[in-house]
Amino acid sequence: MNRNFVFLNSFVNLSEETFDKLQRLGKFKRIKANTTVARTGEIPTKYYFLVSGLMRAYYDSECGKVFTKNIFSPISFVASFTALINKNPSKLTYETLTDCKLYEFDYSEIINLCNTDISVSMLYSRILEQIFIGYEKRSLELLSLNATQRYLKLRERIPNIDDLIPQFQIASYLSITPVQLSRIRKNIK
């Protein structure tokens, strides 16, 4: 059985016919590392279902400092959902950190399908719930865990992250400096 079908069925019971409709809307893409898929200031129209590889969302401040808001690992939905839903310019840039395989979806096509298929509408709702839960979990981790604990949690989720992306990107995601990350890595070895 298709693993994407199994994954989507973990949210809501989909018929194979509905899954086929969704699959036809998605465009499978292989994207090289360090490719920007959505830029700050643009009004997004697409979102992505990450099958393999790593992506990030980052904020580029006016003073030139880059803050990594999120690192996405496989089987994640990736988009500036606030900008997408509100049809506003995105405050974040989304890029691939490694070579990625993903499905690209046109947001308006999915919303149109939600309006005609209750199971797709329920799926969309469950996915948004999971995204919200993930954002809240990340916010609480930043408030309640120290930098070492956050790093260990990240390594739990992506065990080989140190071999995949530069240290400065990991540090940015953890809200610490690369020097602090280097000390943490030295202390836990």
9-64 pLDDT, tens digit each: 888 888 889 888 888 999 999 999 999 999 999 999 999 999 999 999 999 988 88
Claim to verify: residue 44 and residue 131 sit in the same structural domain: yes
Claim to verify: residue 154 and residue 127 sit in the same structural domain: no
Claim to verify: residue 57 and residue 32 sit in the same structural domain: yes
Claim to verify: residue 107 and residue 55 sit in the same structural domain: yes
Claim to verify: residue 26 and residue 63 sit in the same structural domain: yes
* pLDDT value of residue 1: 57
In this model, does residue 3 exceed pLDDT 90? no
Claim to verify: residue 111 and residue 165 sit in the same structural domain: no
Claim to verify: residue 57 and residue 150 sit in the same structural domain: no
We report the CATH number of the domain holding residue 57 as: 2.60.120.10
Sheet with 55-60: strands ordered across: 36-38, 93-96, 55-60, 66-72
Lowest mean pLDDT segment, chosen from 11-15, 118-122, 144-148, 154-158: 11-15
| Nearest one of 65, 149, 66, 51 to 105, comparing CA atoms | 51
Claim to verify: residue 46 and residue 103 sit in the same structural domain: yes
Contact by Cβ (8 Å): 120, 114 = yes
Claim to verify: residue 113 and residue 20 sit in the same structural domain: yes
Claim to verify: residue 23 and residue 115 sit in the same structural domain: yes
Number of domains, the chain: 2
Claim to verify: residue 115 and residue 152 sit in the same structural domain: no
Domain residues for 33? 3-144
Claim to verify: residue 120 and residue 42 sit in the same structural domain: yes
